[in-house]
Amino acid sequence: MSTCAEHGSRWRRQVRVALVVAKKDVLIYYLKPPVIVFGIVLPVFLFLAFAVGRSVPIGQMVPGMVAMALFFTASAVGPLVTPWERQFKTYERLVTSPASTEALLGGDVLAGMAFGVVLSAMPLLLGVGATAANIAAFGPVACGVVLGALTFASLGVLLASPATDAPSQILMLSNLTRLPLLFISGVFVPIPQMPVLTRCLAPLSPLSYCVDLIRVGFGEPHYFPLWVDAAALLGFAFAFLTAARYWHLRSRQRGR
C-alpha cells in the first residue's frame, strides 16, 4: 500500500511540475505580441496567397485555414524554448531539478497545445462569421483541433531536441520540416483532388488527418475513416514524444 501511495504521490508531483513548466512557457515565451501576431498573420497571408484568383468558394477553404493556423501556432514556439533556455543557462537548472524529463516535455506540450487551440479559434470564428462556411458537426472539429494541437505541439518539442543553443538552427530545421507538409496535407486542395504523387504522400503527414477531421465538421466528405484520423494523430503524437524523450536524454548525456 505504501508503495502505491508513493507512486501516486510521485505522479501527482510530476503533474504539478508539468503544469508549472507550461505556465512558465506561456508567461515567458508565448504571451509576447510578436509571437501572437506571427501566429495569426502567417496563416492568414498564406491562405490569401492561395485563395486569391481561384474559383473555389472562400468558405470551402476555411477548414484548411483553421488547420493551418493550428499547425503553425501549436508548433511555432515549442522548437525554440529549449534553445533559448540553453542559451540563458536555465536549461541546466531544469534538468538537474527533481523534475522528470517526461514532466518537462509534458509542460512544453501543454503550453503549445493551449497556444494552438486559443489562436486557431480566431480564424475559425472569422471563417464562420465572414464566409458561407458553417459548422455541421462540432464533434469532429473539436476532435481535430484538440488532437491536432497535441500532435503539432509534440512535433515542436521533438524539433527542439537537438543539442544546440542557437535558435536560428532550430528555426531553420523547423521550417524545413513544417513547410513541405502544407503541400501534401490537403490544406489548400482536398486530398482527392491532389496529384497522384502528393495523394500518396498525404498519409505521411499528421496535418492530413487534422484537416480531414475539420473538413468533416464543416460538412465535407472525409478522405480517411474518422477513427483512422483520430488514431493517426494519437500515434504521431506518441511517436514524436517518444523520439523527443530519447533525443533529450541523449543530448543531456553527451553534455555531461
Domain ranges of the chain: 17-254
* Burial degree of 64 (CB within 10 A; 0-12, 13-18, 19+): buried
Q: Concatenated DSSP letters for 70-122?
A: HHHHHTTSHHHHHHHHHHTT-HHHHHTSS--HHHHHHHHHHHHHHHHHHHHHH
pTM of the model: 0.87
The three three-digit cell numbers of residue 217, written as one number: 465538421
Least confident piece of the model among 35-44, 105-114, 196-205: 35-44
pLDDT digits (tens, 9 = 90+) for 218-250: 989 989 999 999 999 999 999 999 998 888 777
**% of the chain exceeding 90 in pLDDT:** 23
pLDDT at residue number 151: 95
pLDDT at residue number 212: 94
